[in-house]
Amino acid sequence: MRKVSVIGIGETKMGNYPERSLKNLIKEAGNSAIADSGIEKKDIQALFIGNFNSSLLCSQSLVNGLACEVLELDNIPSMRIEAACASGGLAFRQAYLLIALGLYDCVMVGGVEKMTHAPSALVTEAIASAEDYELEVTKGLTFPGVFALIANRYMEDYGLSRRELSYIPVQSHSNAYLNSDAQMKKLIDIDKVMNGMPVADPFTIFDCSMVTDGSAFVILCAKDKLNQFTSRNTGVVDVIGSGHGGSWLSIANKNLTSFDGTKQAAKEAYQMAGVSAEVIDLAEVHDCFSITQIINTEDLGFFPPGKGGFAANDGMTAIDGKIPVNTSGGLKAKGHPIGATGISQIFEIVTQLRGDAGKRQVKDASIGLTHNLGGAAVTCAVHIFQRSE
């Protein structure tokens, strides 16, 4: 397979923008990525876009055609991928693979979501559409409940306390405080998390990721064709591994404390990259809920099963820790613009590998990983990136 590089990134500040349209969000993030890449629009051969619920919340499907129109990309193939919260990560994988395998040379990939304009009951219903409607949603189980079941099982099995779980969002808020694109800019402490509004036992509001409007885009190019498309010769980041894993929709027959989809995706990505978890310098992982971040860091091989929460409490996932996790602030505090989340994670890793992350910069970051999960670990994308020498 050919080597593929990320040559441009762009995103909106994540936030609460009920007055902004899908078009407006796409336009800002997309044109920012194009400008950052130094390529001309005419060189973009295809566009892939992740979007979860604009059909439901914005009466808008075929968001790929909308993006081509807004970004003035003429007559190119385009496609929308819906993989719930992993929509962005899987859109990125399709674009990456079709360049790596030689079909295209230069592709644009993005994600967008617009949710805060809708009543919260409708947002909850839209998000719950990524569960099994017949088996779960009609019984009153929505996602906070799904992951609360998971948290209870994990805490019981491994002895993680409510106080230790609370450290996860504290760190996310602390990292987001250093990120100008983050939706949440407020430092919190463990007592605040524990005393927050109850959502689904053991979760308080601080264990749950945000409802976010936002968009993010990246430009991918075959590494052997870089000179044809851009004069950029610094800040190029290579994609060295890609993995896709999955499991069934409902949680009825699932292991609740480890996700097969993540492990499959990680295995594929590590094999492709020829590296193991030990060499990863930093990772953005899918922290839709506090417990998810902990389980992900175990499934990705950073910590043994049952140890991820304790490791975080020991400072191992901090910006200056052994394996910094969610330096951006993660879904919890940077924000969770669902279809854009997987691309926004890549935005952070590329920013870090370029050395452009300012006060949250991970020292000597060379290899970074993104992990994007859809549904109750129903579909999962893992990508590994390396600073180009």
**Beta carbon of residue 196, minimum distance to its own copies (angstroms, whole number):** 28
**Beta carbon of residue 250, minimum distance to its own copies (angstroms, whole number):** 6
d(CA 245, CA 359): 34
Q: Which one, 224 or 314, has the nearer CB to its own copies?
A: 224
Binding mask 341-380 for its own copies (x = CB under 8 A): ---------------------------------xx--xx-
Q: Which one, 81 or 168, has the nearer CB to its own copies?
A: 81
Residues of this chain, 59-88, that bind its own copies according to CB under 8 A: 59-62, 64-66, 68-69, 75-84
Binds its own copies by CB under 8 A, chosen from 25, 33, 44, 90: 90
Q: What are the φ and ψ backbone dihedral angles of 370, each rounded to 5 degrees?
A: -120, 145
DSSP labels for 212-281?
A: -BEEEEEEEEEGGGHHHH----SS-EEEEEEEEEE--SSSTT--SSS-HHHHHHHHHHHHHHT--GGG--
Catalytic-residue membership of 336? yes
Residues of this chain, 11-50, that bind its own copies according to CB under 8 A: 21, 23, 46
Selected catalytic residue, list 85, 208, 288, 380: 85
Joined together, the tokens standing for residue 339 give: 């279809």
**208 binds its own copies per the rule CB under 8 A:** no
Joined together, the tokens standing for residue 239 give: 């994609």
**56 binds its own copies per the rule CB under 8 A:** yes
Q: Which residues pair with 384 in a beta bridge?
A: 241, 369
**Beta carbon of residue 32, minimum distance to its own copies (angstroms, whole number):** 21
**194 binds its own copies per the rule CB under 8 A:** no
Joined together, the tokens standing for residue 36 give: 């950052």
**Beta carbon of residue 64, minimum distance to its own copies (angstroms, whole number):** 7
Amino acid at 67: A
**94 binds its own copies per the rule CB under 8 A:** yes
Binding mask 123-152 for its own copies (x = CB under 8 A): --xx-xxx-xxx--x---------------
How distant is the alpha carbon of residue 361 from its chain centre? Answer: 19
Positive or negative, the Cα torsion across 11, 14, 18, 19?
Answer: negative
Joined together, the tokens standing for residue 252 give: 């009825």
Asked whether 343 and 92 are in contact (CB, 8 A), the reply is yes
**103 binds its own copies per the rule CB under 8 A:** yes
Asked whether 77 and 48 are in contact (CB, 8 A), the reply is no
CA nearest to 346, candidates 19, 15, 36, 27? 36
Catalytic-residue membership of 106? no
What residues make contact with its own copies under the rule CB under 8 A? 21, 23, 46, 52-53, 55-56, 58-62, 64-66, 68-69, 75-84, 90, 94, 97-98, 101-103, 125-126, 128-130, 132-134, 137, 244-250, 260-261, 264-265, 374-375, 378-379
Which residues are marked as active site? 85, 336
